[in-house]
Amino acid sequence: MRKYSQEFKDSTVQLIINNNENVKDIAKDLDLNPKTLYAWVTAYKKEHNIPMRNIEIKSTLKESEAEELKRLRKENKILKQERDILKKATAYFAKETL
C-alpha cells in the first residue's frame, strides 16, 4: 500500500473541486484507485465544511470525444517521456563537452 503526503492528497482534491475534473480521469492519470480518490474528496469536503453533492461518475462526453481524449492523453504521456529523454541526453552531451 502506497502512502501519499497530505499535500499531494489536498492538491489532487483541489484539482477535482476547483477545475470540476472527473474523479475517474484524475485517478487514471495518477494511477490511483478511484475509490481512494473519492474517499479523499469526501474527507476533504467534510474537513473544510464544503457541501457534499453527488460526484458525477458517468462521463458526459460523447463517445468520439472520450476516444479523442484517451488518445490525446496517451500521446501526451509519450511526448513527456520523449522530452525527458532529450533533457537527459542534452545534459549528458553538455557534460561531455566541458
**Given its phi and psi angles, is residue 49 left (phi above 0), alpha (psi -120 to 50 degrees) or beta?**
left
What counts of helices (H) and strands (E) characterise the chain? 4, 0
CATH number, domain 1-60: 1.10.10
pLDDT at 94 over 90: no
Tell me what pLDDT residue 15 has.
87
Tell me what pLDDT residue 57 has.
47
What's the rounded Cα separation, in Å, for the pair 91 and 96? 9
At 62, which amino acid appears? Answer: K
Sequence ranges of the domains in the chain: 1-60, 61-98
Tell me what pLDDT residue 80 has.
92
Question: What is the pTM (predicted TM-score) of this model?
Answer: 0.51
Tell me what pLDDT residue 60 has.
52
HSE-CB for 29 with a 13 A CA cutoff: 17
Tens of pLDDT, residues 49-65: 888 765 554 445 566 88
Q: Average pLDDT, stretch 1-5?
A: 82
At 51, which amino acid appears? Answer: P
What's the rounded Cα separation, in Å, for the pair 64 and 72? 12
